[in-house]
Amino acid sequence: DAGVTQSPTHLIKTRGQQVTLRCSPISGHKSVSWYQQVLGQGPQFIFQYYEKEERGRGNFPDRFSARQFPNYSSELNVNALLLGDSALYLCASSLARPSSYNSPLHFGNGTRLTVT
């Protein structure tokens, strides 16, 4: 079975532009989460979606938005890009509902975003 897939793998954007990142979860997984990993740091939680509804949001500005589609794939959008948005953006899927803990996350290989 295919794992979590993310596209594109690399992206270079200019300050002020907008970017859309895509994620396809493991088949059967209804929960998708997004994380930002700045170089040298651990991932930081951005969003959590389950059954197409936002179930959680991390401490990120409103420039960040996301959605989940009926097939459970997801998009992360970032508007008005800043240099500090340069990072590896990771998508993870899970079999469990957000309220049902003790379930590991399955991560994709991420999208490397560089803002110049």
Partner 1 sequence: SQQGEEDPQALSIQEGENATMNCSYKTSINNLQWYRQNSGRGLVHLILIRSNEREKHSGRLRVTLDTSKKSSSLLITASRAADTASYFCATDYGNNRLAFGKGNQVVVIP
How near is the Cβ of 59 to partner 1 at its closest, in Å?
8
- Does residue 25 touch partner 1 according to CB under 8 A? no
Alpha-carbon distance of 53 to 37, in angstroms, equals 23
DSSP-derived 3-state class of residue 2:
coil
Which of 19/91 has CB closer to partner 1? 91
Looking at 19, 23, 90, 113, which residue binds partner 1 (CB under 8 A)?
90
DSSP code per residue over 40-77: TS--EEEEEEETTEEEEE-S--TTEEEEE-TTS-EEEE
Q: Among 69, 62, 58, which Cα is nearest to 22's? A: 69
- Does residue 60 touch partner 1 according to CB under 8 A? no
Alpha-carbon distance of 113 to 88, in angstroms, equals 6
Looking at 23, 32, 48, 74, which residue binds partner 1 (CB under 8 A)?
48
Looking at 32, 43, 66, 113, which residue binds partner 1 (CB under 8 A)?
43
Q: Among 104, 113, 92, which Cα is nearest to 24's? A: 92
- Does residue 88 touch partner 1 according to CB under 8 A? yes
Would you tell me which residues interact with partner 1 (CB under 8 A)? 4, 31, 33, 35, 40-45, 48, 55-56, 58-59, 88, 90, 92, 94, 96-110, 112
